[in-house]
Structure 1
Amino acid sequence: MSRLRRPAWWSVLLTVAAALLFVRLGVWQLHRAQYKDDLLRRYAAAASAPVQGFDQVADAPPVDAYPRVRATGRYLGDRVYLLDNPRHDDRGGEEVYVPFQPRGHDRLLLVDLGFLPGNGDDRHPQRPPLPAGEVTLQGLYQPPPGHGFEMGGDALARQARWPKTTIYLDMGQVARDLGRPLYPRVLALGPDPASIYVREHTLDFGSMPPARHRAYAFQWFTFALAAVVLFLVLHRRKRPKRPSP
């Protein structure tokens, strides 16, 4: 004899629909994790890729690729932006960005000089002077760091003195602040043993790295299993009570 009661059609339909939905969401999270893993592998491989001219990718960089480029021009050394969002050092610190005027171009390129460790206090770290003449830079042409909702609006517009500090790097805000159009990506300079900047660049996935997608996938698969178990428990036949002697 079956240990399950005959279920209503709607309970079967509801259970199957819920389980399929949870499984589909779990598979989608696994696909997102795999996609971001592929991006990380491509990003790591880009560090040793052949160098190409900035003009080749300036306006239309390849999707989901990170060209290693060389650009010649001049720094706008008096226009420094400090991303006050330390990731490398317990003492704090700032990621330093400076606009760069590529030779023969009207638009500005924002250059990520690297992370400058703090001094253990609230003062800005001491930055070395930038070259005044024309220089040739080399690095990865990559998307700017992600940004979220900044309370109080545009923090750059409210600052009158340089360097300007922000907790999010919004390219639109930077372009308005400079009064000049910017290229869609930033140039993250490559490692330099002679530089005091820490240049350990990586892709910024915000709060959703691949590991978190996998954690969410496990959660959705658990929900699918729970829906089936709940269905079985609710439709289990109760054992008849034994008559008392």
Structure 2
Amino acid sequence: MKWMRRPSWFALLLTVAGALLFIRLGVWQLHRADEKEQLLRRYAAADSAPLQAFAAVAMAPPANAIARVSVQGHYLADRQYLLDNPKHDQRGGVEVYAPFLPHGGDRLLLVDLGFLPGNGTDQAPQLPPLPAGEQVLQGLYLPAPGVGFEMGGNALVRQLHWPKTTVYLELSQVAADLGQPLYPQVLALDADPAAIYVREHLLDFSSMPPARHRAYAFQWFTFAVAAVVILLVLHRRRPSKPSDKT
């Protein structure tokens, strides 16, 4: 190409590596947008789905859907876990979990009782007692909330009194703490006007909705184009100046 000087191998490799990295990041953002949209559709479909018996999906939850289940059993008395970093928390408070033994089950089901708003202090909110006796629960059978970065290791084993507080919820640690195996997912209870807990079957993607992922993808793709354009501009041949006439 007469209009362009031959770039060095270093400049060429740097441009190719940068462009490929930006393209990869853009594709990853598009995948994240698709994942979130699919998850939102699953939640919307689950809220109107017919109830299933818990035993039918207990150990093999559907891979591409969220099951809405009914289960009968009883709570373990005075065994509650407080997750103090729920994503929808804007007022301070905790998400409350309690172990539940399904009738005829061979392991425990961790139940998400809902969000309990804070009281304006650093103290944990006052928890109501768990219902005694046989209970029939209904809700969505969901994966446990995502595990955060573990700082200081397992906090549950260092706590001697209930309820126990944690900033992330890992089912294997809860099972070890209770000394009994758990089912692979948790039950998020349906809303109950009589309960003091806030129960919302929704996902808070307000800080990073699918549209924002696509905007970031466009930005990364733009960077990839810019890297190539910069290479071309820096190696463009400048027109030679005519020699001065005397």
TM-score of the alignment, normalized to the shorter chain, above 0.5: yes
Alpha-carbon deviations, 1:21-42, whole Å to 9, x = none? Answer: 5334423431231122112111
Partner of 1:97: 97
Secondary structure of the structure 2 residue equivalent to 1:123: coil
Question: Structure 1 stretch 228-237 or stretch 207-216: which is displaced more?
Answer: 207-216
Aligned residues of 1:83 and 1:168 also touching (Cα < 8 A): yes
Partner of 1:5: 5
Q: Per the alignment, do residues 235 and 63 of structure 1 end up closer, same or farther by CA in structure 2, a change over 3 Å counting?
A: same
Alpha-carbon deviations, 1:199-245, whole Å to 9, x = none? Answer: 1233588x976456435423420221122111211211123346498
Q: Distance in 2 between matches of 1:149 and 1:7?
A: 44
Matched, 1:159 2:153: no
In structure 2, the gaps of 5 or more residues are: none
Give TM-score scaled by structure 2 length.
0.88
Task: Report 1:199-214 matches (<5 A).
Answer: 199-203=199-203, 210=210, 213-214=213-214
Alpha-carbon deviations, 1:149-174, whole Å to 9, x = none? Answer: 22111100000000000001111110
Partner of 1:173: 173
Alpha-carbon deviations, 1:5-56, whole Å to 9, x = none? Answer: 3556886676456535533442343123112211211112101101000000
The alignment's C-alpha RMSD in Å is: 2.7
Secondary structure of the structure 1 residue equivalent to 2:151: coil
Aligned residues: 244
Partner of 2:29: 29
Aligned residues of 1:146 and 1:204 also touching (Cα < 8 A): no
Secondary structure of the structure 2 residue equivalent to 1:49: coil
Q: Per the alignment, do residues 23 and 198 of structure 1 end up closer, same or farther by CA in structure 2, a change over 3 Å counting?
A: same
Q: Distance in 1 between matches of 2:202 and 2:120?
A: 25
Aligned residues of 2:87 and 2:204 also touching (Cα < 8 A): no
Aligned residues of 1:141 and 1:188 also touching (Cα < 8 A): yes
Query: Which amino acid counterpart does residue 226 of structure 2 have in structure 1?
Result: A
Q: Per the alignment, do residues 119 and 229 of structure 1 end up closer, same or farther by CA in structure 2, a change over 3 Å counting?
A: same
Q: CA deviation at 1:112?
A: 0.1
Q: Per the alignment, do residues 244 and 32 of structure 1 end up closer, same or farther by CA in structure 2, a change over 3 Å counting?
A: farther
Partner of 1:117: 117
Partner of 1:143: 143
Partner of 1:228: 228
Aligned residues of 1:145 and 1:204 also touching (Cα < 8 A): no
Q: Distance in 2 between matches of 1:134 and 1:200?
A: 24
In structure 1, the gaps of 5 or more residues are: none
Secondary structure of the structure 2 residue equivalent to 1:157: helix
Give TM-score scaled by structure 1 length.
0.88
Alpha-carbon deviations, 1:138-189, whole Å to 9, x = none? Answer: 0000000001222111100000000000001111110000000000100000
Secondary structure of the structure 2 residue equivalent to 1:59: coil
Partner of 1:198: 198
Q: Distance in 2 between matches of 1:69 and 1:50?
A: 8
Q: Distance in 2 between matches of 1:75 and 1:208?
A: 36
